[in-house]
Amino acid sequence: MALKAAMAVTGAILVLFLIAHMYGNLMIFGGPQTFDTYSAHLRELGEPMLPYEGFLWIMRVVLLASVLVHAYAAVTLWMRARRARPAGQRYHTKKSVQRSYASYTMRWGGVVVVLFVIYHILHLTTNDIAPGGASASPYERVVNGFQIWWVVLSYVIALAAVGFHLRHGIWSAVATLGGNRAGRQRSLNIIATGLSLVVTIGFLIPPFAVLLGLVK
């Protein structure tokens, strides 16, 4: 019963993280100095109350826990839905009346997002995948990677998945937490669409800036 609330709350944490992450990414336009300082600052945040990288690890733990809870709840609900209409009791013809494409792609879209996050961490955090060359400077990692068209393309696809996931996810989290009230449904949906567009576009600006040579 609390599964859906857990899903909504962890989803909300992840959305807040994404917004912060996107904001940080935009620092790339400040040049190598600014970007690398921001990156280093993330590790020093909270010192001396916290050890070096202390805040970052707290955040990583919270994020990982959120992802795990989110995924666990999602899989449980997915299985419940499958049980609720088991094989042999499916429709021969089924049409949707109003459902959004976003709601349709929630589950497999979520899987795509998870795979992307792993790829993304290996790419820009640990740098184990380093198309265009590895570097100790986060700024250079970004620039090296996104000069290659297919790297940008892979991020475009992944961020589209993220965008759709957010579009339904934000709306659904609000509804699950009891925030949908008479007359408010339309505006909630507009806000969810707007926010997911902002996040998707915000994340896509730096890769395209690199690809188009605006950031070198």
Partner 1 sequence: MNITLRVWRQKSRDDEGRMVTYQVEDVSPDMSFLEMLDVLNEKLTLDGHEPVAFDHDCREGICGACGVVINGVAHGPETTTTCQLHMRSFKDGDVIDVEPWRAKAFPVIKDLVVDRGAFDRIIQAGGYISAPTGTAPDAHAMPVPKADADRAFDAATCIGCGACVAACPNASGMLFTAAKVTHLGMLPQGQPERAARVVKMVNQHDEEDFGGCTNIGECAAVCPKGIPLDTISQLNRDLLGSLASGNPK
Using alpha carbons only, how large is the chain's radius of gyration in Å? 19
Least spacing, CB of residue 69 vs partner 1, in Å:
15
The H or E element that residue 13 is part of is: helix 3-25
- Is 187 among the residues that bind partner 1 (CB under 8 A)? no
Q: Which stretch binds partner 1 (CB under 8 A): 10-18, 31-39, 86-94, 207-215?
A: 86-94
Q: Cite the DSSP H helix spans in 121-184.
A: 138-146, 149-176
Task: Tell me whether residue 41 or residue 99 sits nearer to partner 1 (CB atom).
Answer: 99
* Residue 75 near partner 1 by CB under 8 A: no
The residue within the footprint of partner 1, chosen from 95, 118, 150, 187 (CB under 8 A), is 95
SS3 labels along 113-139: HHHHHHHHHHHHHCCCCCCCCCCCCHH
Shortest CB 16 distance to partner 1, Å: 20
Q: Is 4 in the site for partner 1 (CB under 8 A)?
A: yes
Residue 2 engages partner 1 in binding (rule: CB under 8 A)? yes
88 touches partner 1 by CB under 8 A: yes
Binder to partner 1 among 48, 128, 178, 216 (CB under 8 A)? 178
By C-alpha distance, which of 61, 64, 60, 74 is closest to 8? 74
Q: State the minimum distance, in angstroms, from the CB of residue 85 to partner 1.
A: 4
Q: How many CB atoms lie within 10 A of CB 161?
A: 20
Instruction: Give how far Cα 171 sits from Cα of 51, 100, 167, Å.
Output: 38, 12, 7
Amino acid code (one letter) for 171:
W
Task: Provide, rounded to whole angstroms, the least separation between the CB of residue 184 and partner 1.
Answer: 7
Chain positions 109 to 168 lying near partner 1, rule: CB under 8 A, are 168
- Confirm or reject binding of residue 92 to partner 1 (CB under 8 A): yes
Rule CB under 8 A: is residue 77 a binding residue for partner 1? yes
CB nearer to partner 1: give 60 or 184.
Answer: 184
Q: Where are the alpha helices (DSSP H) in 45-105?
A: 54-84, 101-104
First CA to last CA distance, the chain: 51
Contacts with partner 1: how many residues (CB under 8 A)? 40
Closest to 163 (Cα-Cα) out of 198, 207, 119: 198
d(CA 86, CA 17) in angstroms, rounded, equals: 37
Which positions lie near partner 1, rule CB under 8 A? 1-5, 77, 80-81, 83-86, 88-100, 103, 106, 168, 171-172, 175-182, 184-185
